[in-house]
Structure 1
Amino acid sequence: MFKHDETTGHRPLEGVRVLDFSRVLAGPYCTALMADLGAEVIKVEPPSGDDYRHIGPFQDGESLLFQSVNRGKKSIVLDLKSAEGAAAARALAAECDIVIENFRPGVMDRFGLGPDELCAALPQLVYVSVSGFGQTGPNRSLPAYDIIIQAMSGLMDMTGAEDGPPMMAGDAFADVAGGMFAAFGAMVALFDRTRSGRGRHVDLALYDSLVSMMPVGACRALMTGEMPKRTGSKHPLSAPFGTYPAKDGSFTVAVLNDRLFATFATAIGAPDLAHDPHFASDTLRRQNEPALAQHIESWAATQDVQSVVTALSDAGIPAAALCSVRQAWDSPQVQARELATTVAHPSLGEFTVPEQPVHFSGAPRGGRQAAPELGAHTTEILQRLKEGNIR
């Protein structure tokens, strides 16, 4: 039986080299996760740089968003439209385990760097294509940004107040979902290569990823024929499972079974609710949620959020105050879990960037390099390639 070695101190992807042609968010998010885990990520940029280098917020002329999702990588400038640039890219691909790109389908083919050509020449290569709608289907050639995918996937239609308009989710979840599934696909193909000796072409669509990330909506649409609707900050199927007001703010609570509901009813000073036939099951509690909400809001109205959360938590009820993004990143839990790391940049000095969230036994966290300046490693990498010592 395999035994974990807690003393190795190496990162799981050390020795893996990734040639990253991606830009903006989904692809770079994917390769940032790999870099965090020790992979050598060579980011190929055009002479003008990744578009994200020109998107704020800025500090001393540097995009902090670019810094966030390109941490730990190397940058090489290649003009893929030129024969020389494309030839250098092909030579680099031969020295890499994974190639990732997020151009529209067909663009890499025009550079002579498409999956059919490279995978035929390099059968051990794992080639990951990230696009809005994938390499097949009627929408394959459509341009796509996160908001487009959110709109087309049904996420926006399910997000927002019950009596309000559809709303975009608060972050670029289509891009992030695509980045995570791209990393997942790359790692599965890399693992399979250890058994088969051959790589694969991994076709990843942001649309597919986000549609797949909504299991409750999928269940209702595919299996019951329902049309999922907006329910604001309340769960569409369970109650009490959502956000409620207290004296000085809002709190969340999650009750998913009859036993927990009986405990909850006692905690809010209304034990008889557990025997009320209107609230006898999860389904009935959701159907009668407005009446249930009156009891909850009446109990919480004279208390501050922290008192409410403490009382519910002490009773074993999942409950929390609503936090801002800044409060979450400043929390002791984030610090304890080491979800961020400090990096040093030649012009920005020291600052903090996110770290991938999975903990591996024996693997160190932190210690990452800042995102590279445009073309910072071009001379070094091309020289190593010319001398044949890039490995």
Structure 2
Amino acid sequence: MDGTHAPALPLQGLRVLDLTLARAGPTCVRHLADWGADVIRIEPPAAEGEDVAGNRYGPDFQNLHRNKRAIQLDLKSNEGYAAFMRLVADADVLVENMRPTVKHRLKIAWGDVHAVNPRLVYGSISGFGQDGPYGTRAGLDQIAQGMGGLMSITGLPGQGPVRVGIPIADLTAGNMLAFGIMTALFERQRTGVGRWVTTSLLEVQVFMLDFQAARWLMEGDVPQQAGNDHPTSIPTGVFPTQDGHINIAASSGRLFARLCTAMGHADWAEKPEWKLQTGRSADRIAINAAIAAETVKQPSAYWTALFEENGIPCGPINTIDQVFADPQVRHLGLAMPMHSPRLGKVEVVASPVSMSGVTKAVRRPTPEAGEHTAEVLAKVEQEASAWAAV
């Protein structure tokens, strides 16, 4: 589907300047692009034979940058900087994830652009915040996972620090900045003035500790690694089956009783030491061993069907190929088709948000480097000339 004849989308009419690199910033901008914003991705000119974006045709880049236009500008040159500021004057949102010192050196920081366009909402992601003791440090996802406490509670007890299998700090920073930008845009409807919206990998990682952080803040309890067991709700975790593993979540008294009955061991629920959650938590090893001794006797499909019939939350543990073969994932359309002029028909990961009356689709395939430079700059010059004639 091309951008010219695309149906109206919720963010149609919103112009976004994308100065982001790596993953956190592009994740934010992808939300805006998917829901109809006119996103102009600004990349520096590449040296001959070099693509500053890295592997432009790899799955990561293609998945992050669909539904955007791309131009090349040298912000260090007078001409490139002037063209950029002309874009700023007519934009609604600017998103960047440079080190704080870099944007000041380039004279494209909040103060610089706010003076040109007071309506602009300026979104920033950094490693550790825009100022403070770590403000000038470069931030990476795994560094934030470690400093933000996540690696201390991930993995098996005694295993040592373990990173999460996705760049969760990067992704969460992008998701939260998109939320912050939309909040600022909503306020701008009333005030007519934009705001500088910031977050960082460290901030979102601490935020995502959620109840684990609250255990420390409110009770002085330092959470430890619990492996595949839920740290406070027992039994919730991974159990072996005849042909693999499944997750079972039956931590409440009611669900635990159902589980015991379904497995042919109603007597477990009557044991005095297992009747209450506190007792089950204290005796988690014995409970898990008892359940595992039964689940290993039948295949995963047997148990998931039995537990589903009895209203007990459960599910298989899928590899990524099995995820996209799952009938519910297919029903939800989470693999979204995209036709790339270079790669042909491929699939990217769809937005997890749905809206009534709106069809999710890739309107523009991930652009080539500088593909829309002439188109965008010609339009800017045309608009500038029109204003000058008024």
Provide TM-score, normalisation by structure 2: 0.93
Inter-partner Cα distance in structure 1 for 2:131 and 2:272:
52
Inter-partner Cα distance in structure 1 for 2:327 and 2:244:
21
Inter-partner Cα distance in structure 2 for 1:182 and 1:200:
12
Q: Deviations over 1:243-273 (max 9, x none)?
A: 1111221110112311111111111111112
C-alpha deviation, 1:390, in angstroms: 11
3-state SS of paired residue (1:183): helix
Does 2:43 correspond to 1:45? yes
Inter-partner Cα distance in structure 2 for 1:340 and 1:98:
28
Pick the aligned partner of 1:91 from 86, 91, 102.
86
Inter-partner Cα distance in structure 2 for 1:376 and 1:9:
23
Pick the aligned partner of 1:103 from 83, 98, 101.
98
C-alpha deviation, 1:198, in angstroms: 1.0
Q: Deviations over 1:79-108 (max 9, x none)?
A: 111122121111101111100000001311
Counterpart contact for 2:43–2:52, Cα < 8 Å: no
C-alpha deviation, 1:41, in angstroms: 0.6
Q: Deviations over 1:40-89 (max 9, x none)?
A: 1100001139988324xxxxx72221101011111110111112212111
Any residues of structure 2 matched to 1:151-230 within 5 Å, and which?
A: 151-230=146-225
Counterpart contact for 1:52–1:66, Cα < 8 Å: no
Counterpart contact for 2:151–2:164, Cα < 8 Å: yes
Inter-partner Cα distance in structure 2 for 1:119 and 1:329:
44
What is the match of residue 58 of structure 1?
none
Q: Which moved more, 1:38-47 or 1:330-339?
A: 330-339
Any residues of structure 2 matched to 1:49-64 within 5 Å, and which?
A: 53-55=53-55, 62-64=57-59
Inter-partner Cα distance in structure 2 for 1:311 and 1:390:
70
Pick the aligned partner of 2:127 from 107, 129, 132.
132
Change (3 A) 1:33 1:144: same
Does 2:44 correspond to 1:11? no
Inter-partner Cα distance in structure 1 for 2:8 and 2:270:
56
Please tell me the residue identity of whatever aligns with 1:82. S
Does 2:245 correspond to 1:250? yes
Q: Stretches of 4+ moved more than 3 A in 1? A: 49-53
Where does structure 2 lack aligned partners over 5 or more consecutive residues?
A: 1-5
What is the match of residue 383 of structure 2?
388
Please tell me the residue identity of whatever aligns with 2:28. C
Change (3 A) 1:91 1:318: same
What is the match of residue 32 of structure 1?
30
Inter-partner Cα distance in structure 1 for 2:201 and 2:385:
33
C-alpha deviation, 1:24, in angstroms: 0.9
Q: Deviations over 1:15-53 (max 9, x none)?
A: 111000001101111111111101111000011399883
Counterpart contact for 2:181–2:197, Cα < 8 Å: yes
Inter-partner Cα distance in structure 2 for 1:256 and 1:299:
18
C-alpha deviation, 1:367, in angstroms: 3.7
Any residues of structure 2 matched to 1:232-247 within 5 Å, and which?
A: 232-247=227-242
Equivalent pairs, count = 379
Inter-partner Cα distance in structure 1 for 2:213 and 2:75:
40
3-state SS of paired residue (1:237): coil
Where does structure 1 lack aligned partners over 5 or more consecutive residues?
A: 1-7, 56-60
C-alpha deviation, 1:340, in angstroms: 2.6
3-state SS of paired residue (1:53): coil
Change (3 A) 1:125 1:135: same
Q: Deviations over 1:128-152 (max 9, x none)?
A: 0111111122111111111111111
Inter-partner Cα distance in structure 1 for 2:343 and 2:385:
30
Q: Deviations over 1:138-189 (max 9, x none)?
A: 1111111111111111111111111212111001111100000010011000
Counterpart contact for 1:257–1:282, Cα < 8 Å: yes
Please tell me the residue identity of whatever aligns with 1:348. L
3-state SS of paired residue (2:331): helix
Inter-partner Cα distance in structure 2 for 1:368 and 1:390:
30
Any residues of structure 2 matched to 1:224-303 within 5 Å, and which?
A: 224-303=219-298
Q: Which moved more, 1:365-374 or 1:126-135?
A: 365-374
Inter-partner Cα distance in structure 2 for 1:232 and 1:174:
20
Structure 1 vs Structure 2 CA RMSD: 1.9
Identity %: 38
Inter-partner Cα distance in structure 2 for 1:48 and 1:258:
62
Any residues of structure 2 matched to 1:58-73 within 5 Å, and which?
A: 62-73=57-68
